[in-house]
Every structure is written in C-alpha cells, then in structure tokens.
Amino acid sequence: MRWPQLTPYILIAPLVLVLLLFVAGPLCAVVAVSFFRYDNFAIIPAFSLDNYLHLATTHLTYSLYLSMIYFSFLTWVFTFLIGFTIAYFLVFHVRNPLIGIGLFLVCTVPFWTSNVIRMISWLPLLGQQGIINRGLMSIGVIDHPFKFLLFSDFSVVVSYVHLFTIFMIVPIFNSMSRIDRALFEASVDAGSSRWQTVFLVVLPLCKSGIVLGSIFVITLVMGDFYVVKVMSGGARASIVSAMADDISTLLFPQAAANAVILMIIVVMMVTLILRIVDVRKELVAQR
C-alpha cells in the first residue's frame, strides 16, 4: 500500500511555511521599501524610483560591486584549487577509510565554530608586529615588516580562503568519492598520463560538486558583511557593509534598493552557474 497522495504535501508544509514567512515575505518587504521615500528619518510609503536613480548615479555603487566581483573571483580561484587538491588527496591517496574520514573531519571542524573569531585570529599573525613579520625579520629575510600582509586586499583574500575553502572541499569530496576506481585503470590503459587522467576523467566527473562549491563561495563573498570591513582595516567596504551603514543612519529605502540589486545580481550569477549542471537532478533522488 502506498502512502496517501496527500502525505508529501503535509510533510513539506513546515518548510514552505518557514520559506514563506522568513524568505518570501521579507524579500517582498525589501522590494516594497526600495520604492519608498524617506524624509527626516521617517519612511514614507510611495512609488518612487529615486533610490535606484541615486544608486545608479553614484560612482561608489559601481566600485563596490566591481571590487566584490573581483574578491569573489580571486577567492573562487584559490578555494577551487585548494579544495580540489585536498579532496583529491583524501579520496584517491588515503587508503584507510577510517583515516580518510578522520582527516576529512579535521578539515570540517572549523566550519562549526565562529567565523568572526576565525577571522580576527589572523590579526596577531599578519600585523606589522605579527608572527610572520617577526619571523621573517629574525631570520634576516627582510629588514622592515611587510605592510601588505594586514589591512590590505591580501589579508581580505586570505580570510575568505580561510573561511570558505571548506565549502569547496565537501561537495567536491562528495562527488569524487562516487567515481568508480576502474575508470583510472581504463584511463591509464588508454594511454593517458596522470595529469590527463585528472583533467579528462576526474574533473568532468566532479562537475556537480564543483558547481555546488562555486555557488557557495561566490554567494558568500558577494554577501559578505564583515571580512572586507575588518581585514582591510576600514579602508574598503563591501556591498553589504555599505548597506549596513545606510541602515545605521536609518536610510532604509536606500539600503533596500541596494539589497534588491544585490539579490538580482547574486541570483543571476547562480542561474548562470546552474546552467552548467542541473544540481537538483544530482541532489534529489526522486522516484
């Protein structure tokens, strides 16, 4: 006997309720408020395009979006290279499965701890008085501390890679573990080198993992609030931290308009990535 036809709808109802109340509703509120006017710190319901016009005519908007796309790209490149290499090592080189699981957990544990703490833990390392500069000076490699290590684009990207590489490792590890080992022998028998096997066999078969990881990393950087702000020493802002500055001066409609544009850009980026592979078909095992 099959479960009644109604069962899936009852089971999915709580999720739908949360998504309606705390995702769809709020996003509608953001869209609505983005057309409102504000005057003397009060929000006035209206239908005005002023907020969008203001953003479109401000040079800062473009430089913020460009700098976040630049950070997303750099972070994506490094997290992909590191994530792929680590997953490859864990899946294909560690022979004892228990050790494999142990090493995998070593990579994932920091994900379950505070990101803010993990970010500020770079400060005592990268500063002018930090360990890296002191170490390099004591062994005589440099005379003056490197200034680019902290409060620079360098420290921003280091923090992003530190925080987000896990989002690449897990999905790539997951799709790599499902690769049939016999394909390696087939590839070697067909005369391909080690590198050719990696590029022509392993890489295409991890496509869904890479896509999922890329979506995570790119959207996390685009929506970043605090890393750019803290790790650039206040010299740079992110799109979201600019939004937060607007909110702190009660410019809600302005921030809402910016949020709408950011949402559209993020959804466009994800849609573009999803065109490469149908993540839903890969994830959901439906009858």
16 belongs to the binding site for another protein (CB under 8 A): yes
**Interactions with another protein, residue window 74-93 (CB under 8 A):** 82, 85-86, 88-90, 93
Instruction: Tell whether residue 140 is a contact of another protein (CB under 8 A).
Output: no
The residue within the footprint of another protein, chosen from 113, 139, 191, 275 (CB under 8 A), is: 113
Nearer residue to another protein within complex by CB, 147 or 194: 194
| Residues 37-56 contacting another protein, CB under 8 A | none
The reply on whether position 149 binds another protein by CB under 8 A is no
Binding residue (CB under 8 A) for another protein from 61, 74, 80, 130: 130
Task: Show the site string, 174-213: x = touches another protein by CB under 8 A, - = not.
Answer: x-------------------x-------------------
Q: Would you count residue 1 as binding another protein (CB under 8 A)?
A: yes
14: contact with another protein by CB under 8 A:
yes
List 48, 52, 100, 123, residue binding another protein (CB under 8 A): 123
Question: What mask, x for binding another protein by CB under 8 A, covers residues 226 to 255?
Answer: x---x---------x--xx--x----x--x
Is there a contact between 112 and 246 (Cβ–Cβ < 8 Å)?
Answer: no
Q: Which of residues 158-177 bind another protein (CB under 8 A)?
A: 162, 165, 174
Measured between alpha carbons, how far is residue 28 from residues 31, 225, 237, 253 in Å?
Answer: 5, 22, 26, 13
Contact flag: residue 154 with another protein (CB under 8 A): no
- The smaller minimum CB distance to another protein, of residues 179 and 270, is found at 270
Task: Specify the residue for token string 């006017």.
Answer: 37
145 sits near another protein (criterion: CB under 8 A): no
| 219 is a contact residue toward another protein (CB under 8 A) | yes
Amino acid identity for residue 191 in this structure: G
